[in-house]
Structures are given as C-alpha cells and as structure tokens.
Amino acid sequence: MHPAPSVIIFTVFSGLGFGMLVFLGLGLPPVTGWTAFFFYLAAYAMAVGGLMASAFHLGNPQRALKAFTQWRTSWLSREAWVSVAALAVMGIHAFAAVFFGAILAPIGWLGAGLSVFAVYCTSMIYAQLKTVPRWNTWLTPLHLITLSFGGGAALMGHTSLAGLLIVLAAALQVAHWQVGDRALARSGTTLASATGLGNRGRVTAFEPPHTGSNYLLKEMVYTVGRGHAAKLRLIALALGYGIPGVLLLLPIPGVWPSLIAVPSHIIGILAARWLFFAQAEHVVGLYYGKRAA
C-alpha cells in the first residue's frame, strides 16, 4: 500500500496521544493544575493533530462530518465517534483537573476506556481488510494497542512500565513481520484464483490493461526492495524498541533516559509504520502480475 505521510503521522501520533490519555484517565499519576495542563496539552496535540492529519488524505475533506453516520458497519465511522467521545470525556476530566484541582475518577476511567477503544477502532480499519492479508490478523490491533500503551507510559514518565511494554511491543512487532511475510501465500489468493484459470495451467500476466500507471498501482501496488526493507526493519527495531527499551529499563536516575528514549521511540515507530504500509501487499497486485503467485 502507498505509505502516505498523512496516514503514517495519523496512526503514530493519535496512538501516542490516546496512550497518554489512558494513563491520565486512570490517574497514573493523578496530575492537577499546571502539570496537568501541559500533560493534557501534549496528549491533545498528538491525538487531535493525528486526526487532523488523517483528513489530509481525503479527496473531499469538507464533507468529513458525514463520516459519523455509518457506525453500524464501518470501523472508520466508529473511529470518528469513539475518538470524539474519548476527547470530549477526557476534556471534562482535564478541565476539572487543570482548573479545579479535582480528579473525577469515574469520568477518567470512562475516558481511558474510550481512548483504548479509539486505538482499537483505528487498528481495525486495517485489520478488517481481507484484501491485505498482512494486516488481516488479530496481531494488528494487539500490536498497535500495546504500542500506544508503551508510548503513552514513556511520555507520562512511567519508565519501567514503558520499558516493559516497549519490549512486549517489540516481540509483537517481530511476530507481525514474521506472520506478515507469509500472509499473502497463506491467504490462498493467487493469480490462479483471481482469474479462475488456475486449473488450466500456469497463469502469468501477459499484458497489462494500460501502458502508464493508474490509481490502483499507485495506491495499492507499492513495492519496496527486499534489502531496503530489511535495513529499515533493523532501524525500526533499534530506534523504536531496542534503545528506548534499554534506556527505560536501566535504573538510570534523572530525566535524561526519557529525553533520549521518547524521540528515539517515535522515530523508530515512524519507520516501522512506513513499512507497515509500504510492505502491505494488496491482492489486486496479483491481477497486474506484481506479486509472486
């Protein structure tokens, strides 16, 4: 799939923002006043900023409000509702904490729950797609939610918890890559099933329908070199998981470990998310002979 910057920024930063809101809602730590103000400012900047970024890849963003109508079937519509609900509920919690020094615990728990659900809805937009076998697994929501918790914990200063969650997320990341690399072959969708001609012999794409490119090829048949992908995976593992995991778990006093770990984590996860899209094989590529059959 085409790794659009708007979607990469959206998924990474809304995950981090909602991850922070989970901890703020649970009162871990129970911040009030100016401390609360800055924590909430960071969380809202990332969650809202991410959601705004997602609007950039719309063809007609002026009609975005219509996306609230189809929550019965559409994960994208559910995400819109749940994100707004989480931000609204946590807004009440933030208002009470910042201006009245009060922690409204039940509101916070509700907001935390909605924040987790918002990340789940985002992940299901991808995990629901049978057409992209690499994403079509329960590992996708599990990994994205763990990452959101890990990043949120790191940003909230829960160093050892963040370290543990990031190590867990690393294991899920490797599992997602391992399972993902075989997912297309396992899905059973091949050029033979795509054309229905498989029982007649070996089917190969002879001539594409058009000499130039088109929307389908640009959007869904993005290809990355094998060597290039392997290097990026190493970079993502080291910056996104290895360095922050070690720094947060080691008993180093002061804020310096976090000041290095958090930016490193974010850069690494941006690289991993680029790969999440760039390496995802859409089955329509089979019709163009672009995927190994």
Q: Residues near 68 by Cβ (< 8 Å), separated by ≥ 6?
A: 77, 80, 81, 84
292 interacts with other proteins by CB under 8 A: no
Measured CA to CA, the distance from residue 241 to residue 16 in angstroms comes to 15
Candidates 75, 120, 149, 222; binder of other proteins (CB under 8 A) is 75
284 interacts with other proteins by CB under 8 A: yes
The backbone torsions φ and ψ at residue 218, rounded to the nearest 5 degrees and listed phi first, read -70, -40
Q: Measured from the CB of residue 248, what is the shortest distance to other proteins in angstroms?
A: 35
Largest CA distance in the chain: 75
HSE, CB side, 13 Å, CA atoms: give it for residue 146. 19
Site mask, other proteins, residues 197-216, x = CB under 8 A? x--xxxxxxxxxxx-xxxxx
CB nearer to other proteins: give 130 or 228: 130
Structure tokens at 63: 């009609």
8 Å CB contact between 203 and 191: yes
Q: How many residues bind other proteins (CB under 8 A)?
A: 58
Site mask, other proteins, residues 238-277, x = CB under 8 A? ----------------------------------------
Q: Note the residues at the interface with other proteins (CB under 8 A).
A: 1, 57-61, 63-64, 66-70, 72-77, 80, 125, 128-132, 187-189, 191, 193-197, 200-210, 212-216, 219-220, 282-284, 287-288
